[in-house]
Amino acid sequence: MTGDDLSDDEVQRRHSWQHGPDRSAGGWLALSDDELLHAVAGLPEDHGRDEDLVRVVCSKRHFFVRQEAAKRIRDVERLKDHSHDRHIGQILVRGMNRQEDVAYLERLVRETRYLEVRKAAVAQLRAIAETRGHDE
């Protein structure tokens, strides 16, 4: 798909990504992509770095770097503000499994414009339904 194939609205929503470090940002955003991915992958399961990971998710780094950061965020609630991002939305829905999440997932299925997010939300709703079926 070329820029000519996109509507003006789609072009405005797309952001260019920033390759490599942002030295002025400090912290993890000052790391190269490889260093940042290594830092994220090396986090222990019980890390306390959600705030740093959210900064990466909110950055203009490449979608893969942002997705890897999103996968490691322990408090899934922090990702709900990013459901409009097709790369982060997929990660968000995979972490949802509580009763309160069902309504949110159903709303995403109805409202998201991204097929990838819709498919992930439908799959998660199925997984929740199957788990409930086994619990009864």
Does residue 97 surpass a pLDDT of 60?
yes
Is 61 strand, coil or helix? strand
pLDDT tens by residue, 117-129: 899 999 989 988 8
Q: Which residues of 69-94 are buried (b: 16+ CB within 10 A; e: fewer)?
A: bbbbbeebebbeebbebbbbbbbbbb
Does residue 103 surpass a pLDDT of 80?
yes
pTM to 2 decimal places: 0.63
What is residue 83's predicted lDDT score, i.e. its pLDDT? 76
pLDDT tens by residue, 17-75: 556 566 666 788 999 889 999 999 999 999 999 999 999 998 888 888 998 999 899 98
What is residue 89's predicted lDDT score, i.e. its pLDDT? 81
Type and span of the H or E element at 42 = none
Does residue 99 surpass a pLDDT of 60?
yes
